[in-house]
Amino acid sequence: MSSTPKLLSRIQADWQRVRPGLDAAPMLTYLLVSRLQAALAKQVERTHRHSGLNAATWDLLMTLRRSAPDEGLTPAELAQLTALTGASITNRIDNLRARGLAERRTNPLDRRSAFVRLTPAGRALADELLPIHLANETAIFEVLDDQDRADLQRLAFKLLEPLERGEEG
């Protein structure tokens, strides 16, 4: 059995001891979601360790594979599609470029901007790893039935919507 239920019970008891009456439920829920995210990222990294990709570079590789037209995408478009900041996306692009998996080309219509696209090696690696990744995600979520997955998605969207709206303002 996971240590998380014991940890949450301990944290709840500790708060009740030092601050009786404190409603720690939001804190405990946040901790649970944080631990889930960390466990999911660790699982992705374990799955792709042999390829040298971490969860962040994997996401960028897959974004370029599924969303980029032949000329590629701009770093700003990639940042939007991956919900990353400019600096973070630049580091990940540089990582893929250093490994020969992506290339940056100057936009012929606007030399101040550039397009990023996969190299043939990047495309081949993405196509090789996708079935492995999908099998891993299938295994992770096989404990949930269709209704559970729909409920999880609905609740995640319900939490994300106001948080993302707050980022815009």
- On whether the CB atoms of residues 119 and 70 are closer than 8 A, the answer is no
- What pLDDT is stored for residue 168 in this prediction? 60
pLDDT tens across 82-101, in order? 877 778 899 999 999 999 99
- On whether the CB atoms of residues 93 and 56 are closer than 8 A, the answer is no
- What pLDDT is stored for residue 51 in this prediction? 87
Cβ contacts of residue 59 below 8 Å, gap of 6+? Answer: 82
pLDDT tens across 113-161, in order? 899 999 999 999 999 999 999 999 999 999 999 999 999 999 999 999 9
- What pLDDT is stored for residue 169 in this prediction? 52
* Alpha carbons 6 and 36: distance in angstroms, whole number: 15
- On whether the CB atoms of residues 52 and 99 are closer than 8 A, the answer is yes
For 154, list phi and psi in degrees, rounded to 5: -60, -45
pLDDT tens across 17-68, in order? 999 999 999 999 999 999 999 999 888 888 888 888 888 888 999 999 999 8
- What pLDDT is stored for residue 86 in this prediction? 77
- On whether the CB atoms of residues 95 and 89 are closer than 8 A, the answer is no
pTM metric for this prediction: 0.78
Using the structure block, give the residue that is written with the tokens 């948080």.
163
